[in-house]
Structure 1
Amino acid sequence: MTRLFKHIGGDRVIWMIVVFMALASVLLVYSSIVTLAYKYQDGNTFYYILKHGLFIISGFLFIYLIHKVHYRYLSRFAQLLFWISIPLLILTLLLGQNLNNASRWLVIPVINQSFQTSDLAKLALIMFTARTLAVKKDDLKDFTKGFLPIILPAIVICGLILPANFSTAAVLFTSVLMLMFMAGSRLRHMSLIIPAGGLALLLVFAVAKIQPDLFPRAETWINRVERFASDKEEDPNGNYQIEQAKIAIATGGFFGKGPGNSTQRNFLPHPYSDFIYAIVLEEYGLLGGLFILMFYLILLYRAVRIVQAVPHSFGAYLVLGLSFSLVFQGLVNMAVNVNLLPVTGQPLPLVSMGGTSLWFTCISLGIILSVSRAVEVGATEENYKEDESKNEPVNKPIADAAN
């Protein structure tokens, strides 16, 4: 074990959380894919668990390789990813695989693997925002020089994600706003987003009424909110997914039914992804559900510790943005499963079955660990100061940047 730790760097607690969540993912996915296997693979669950296992193993490889790269090199790479993600999102809307009136996937040639371009866009936007905040740190209070260069790229990316995936756009935009707030952007400027966003949504719904083909998902969004807010006694079948999740939670009790003993996996839509937390609560009970929640909160806490230690604002914003978006997405998934939010379709990071989405989660964790590793080896501002004339950030602690 000691020899193993010599080859990995970064926060050991985060490494342990990732390993635990990956093991939990294998158990939960294996338990929840029975119906999927019978529907598409003649009951061959091995096909799906092997595929999921390969994605986890390759994901760990991504974490290891990326955490070995110093995060300063990601500054310029953030720009490249941002500009690549825009045409990919447009291409997805025009030519992507359509499922339930949503075009979210492109197919990667050769390996024939579907690829959700919003996953790349999420990573790209957070990296780009972190870089811009670091570069513009002296102009953050200025509306033209500091606010618009950050918020406009976020509006573009989230606007391209929104037609097919409202919840992903909302989670991502919230993460960007949080990052701007922590960096020290003016609340007066940020408050303008609320009325502007409200008007934009009203415009989207108005256009959807006139031209449903432009925003085919708008009706689904409205129906989900109406079902969430409606009287459950008047329409007990109005939200089938949540009702089945409630049964899973109620029958799980405090200690759960035990691994592999779920019955609601046969009735819940997507029990291996969107509603996997309901399977956690059914098989492992409230105790297991609290453990999963605790690990996400510990991940966020360890990320904050890294932010406090890193001497460069780019690294601090990078860790803060990536960790918050992962944990926030996890909390949204859990809230949906226990009926605290309308159904969104957000998977549980590191736990839900997923292909490229799992990869991008692992890439995000690799970047967080890269920053942590740089702190560990004693990176100083003198070692890694960048040349502003080359349009790269000269960083400083996040606490100073926020003042």
Structure 2
Amino acid sequence: MVSRAERTWFADWWWTVDRLLLFALAALMLAGIIFSLAASPPVAARLGLDAFHFVNRHIMYLLPAIVVLLGVSFLSPRAIRRLALVVFIVSLAMTAATLFFGAEVKGARRWIVLAGVNIQPSEFVKPAFVILVSWLFAESSRKTDVPANTMAVALLVSVVGVLVLQPDFGQTLLVTLVFSALFFMTGMRFVWVIVLAGVGAVGGFIAYSTIPHVARRIKRFLDPSSGDTFQVDAAVESFISGGWFGRGPGEGTVKRILPDSHADFVFAVAAEEFGIVVCLAVVALFAFIVLRSMRRAQRSEDPFARFAVTGLALLFGTQAAINMAVNLALIPAKGMTLPFISYGGSSMISLAYGIGMLLALSREQPRADMIAVPSDIGLAERTA
């Protein structure tokens, strides 16, 4: 056990980091391995691979993700801002490069190959973007003469512009929602609410009118008889089939016919084999992580930390909510992973980077009024 009396870098980290958040994240990662064992073997068999191919790769991605998460959680706020700027510039440039060099998959160019590894750079844009706009909003609250809000909107336009060109409307929606929430925290006037809502509505209409696969997804959601809804229907059936307590590990049948059972629809596989009770426990874990982070943000005296922790928590929680809503056919299908549970290397490592920053910025800091200055102490003693 690490003693509070120790003055080492690890002891300082251990006694200031939110350990309950760490344990909740560890539980999510463990659930991800268990669900991968349940969902991925049939997918591997259909592709002619070893039964545990995706399980092994899931764990292989998880190990560097843990290293990134813990390593970033040691950083200072200044180091986090500097690193986020570098990550944002590099990942945004790589995201733009996918438009020219990326392979087209299902009508979109989101992946680029570097040194034989497939990378989805837009995943890394999101957490870095949250840090940068949080920095700008914090500066805006301190210095009214700095056009920080205008610069934040310019960053949003640059990110959304590249994502729409891919096209990736799921990530666009996620980034815009988080930005809007942070913008609302700055105390924006109601006119900006109307402007943002109007721009979003116009953008959605243009996407619906000009991009065929977006129109097809929305039409299928509104009218299932208008197209193929096989995956969503199978996912919903898995919740019905599993009931409250599931059919038992390895007894699920939906995973044998779902192409993305190990990725986008792993939550549905968990529902069939482990039951709705386990799914509710997973939802509770996500809710705990988000609400606990929000509470830490509320208690922070640093505006930057308050904005950043809130934004990163919203990014994490909204992504999870979108994935689970798709599995339950509550919203049109989006290609978005369930954090730390779905298969996907880029997603897992970028989530680890974001959560690592959240842990670093939510670490307990000594209050200014509790820090005793030696000269003041001596003066107080002499006065007494």
Q: TM-score, normalised to structure 2's length?
A: 0.88
Of 114, 118, 123 in structure 1, the residue corresponding to residue 122 of structure 2 is: 118
- Please say if 1:220 is aligned against 2:208: no
- Please say if 1:258 is aligned against 2:248: yes
State the partner residue of 1:300.
Answer: 290
Letter aligned with residue 157 of structure 2? I
Cα separation, 2, equivalents of 1:54 and 1:308 = 36
State the partner residue of 1:341.
Answer: 331
Letter aligned with residue 130 of structure 2? I
- Provide structure 2 residue ranges, at least 5 long, that are not aligned to the other structure: 4-9, 372-384
Kindly indicate whether the alpha-carbon contact (under 8 Å) linking 2:41 and 2:52 is maintained by their aligned counterparts in 1: no
Cα separation, 1, equivalents of 2:108 and 2:369 = 46
C-alpha displacement at 1:379, in angstroms?
A: 6.5
Letter aligned with residue 126 of structure 1? V
Cα separation, 1, equivalents of 2:198 and 2:295 = 35
Letter aligned with residue 224 of structure 1? R
Larger Rg: 2
- Provide structure 1 residue ranges, at least 5 long, that are not aligned to the other structure: 209-217, 384-403
Of 68, 72, 85 in structure 2, the residue corresponding to residue 62 of structure 1 is: 68
In structure 2, the CA distance between the partners of 1:271 and 1:381, relative to structure 1 (3 Å rule), is farther
Letter aligned with residue 119 of structure 2? F
Q: Deviations over 1:343-373 (max 9, x none)?
A: 1111101110110210011111111111122
Q: Deviations over 1:157-192 (max 9, x none)?
A: 022112321111111111111111122222312321
Cα separation, 1, equivalents of 2:118 and 2:370 = 44
In structure 2, the CA distance between the partners of 1:363 and 1:382, relative to structure 1 (3 Å rule), is farther
Equivalences, count: 362
Cα separation, 2, equivalents of 1:322 and 1:358 = 15
Of 189, 194, 205 in structure 1, the residue corresponding to residue 192 of structure 2 is: 189
State the partner residue of 2:35.
Answer: 28
Kindly indicate whether the alpha-carbon contact (under 8 Å) linking 2:69 and 2:352 is maintained by their aligned counterparts in 1: yes
SS of the aligned residue for 1:107 comes to strand
SS of the aligned residue for 2:111 comes to strand
C-alpha displacement at 1:138, in angstroms?
A: 4.5
C-alpha displacement at 1:2, in angstroms?
A: 5.7
1:147-166 to 2 correspondences below 5 Å: 147-163=149-165, 164-166=167-169
Letter aligned with residue 68 of structure 1? F
Cα separation, 2, equivalents of 1:91 and 1:256 = 44
State the partner residue of 1:388.
Answer: none
Kindly indicate whether the alpha-carbon contact (under 8 Å) linking 2:305 and 2:362 is maintained by their aligned counterparts in 1: no
C-alpha displacement at 1:16, in angstroms?
A: 1.0
State the partner residue of 1:354.
Answer: 344
Letter aligned with residue 219 of structure 2? E
Letter aligned with residue 49 of structure 1? V
Kindly indicate whether the alpha-carbon contact (under 8 Å) linking 1:147 and 1:185 is maintained by their aligned counterparts in 2: no
Letter aligned with residue 104 of structure 2? N
C-alpha displacement at 1:83, in angstroms?
A: 2.7
Q: TM-score, normalised to structure 1's length?
A: 0.84
SS of the aligned residue for 1:137 comes to helix
C-alpha displacement at 1:75, in angstroms?
A: 2.1
State the partner residue of 1:127.
Answer: 131
Cα separation, 2, equivalents of 1:150 and 1:338 = 34
Letter aligned with residue 228 of structure 1? F
C-alpha displacement at 1:238, in angstroms?
A: 3.0
In structure 2, the CA distance between the partners of 1:381 and 1:106, relative to structure 1 (3 Å rule), is farther
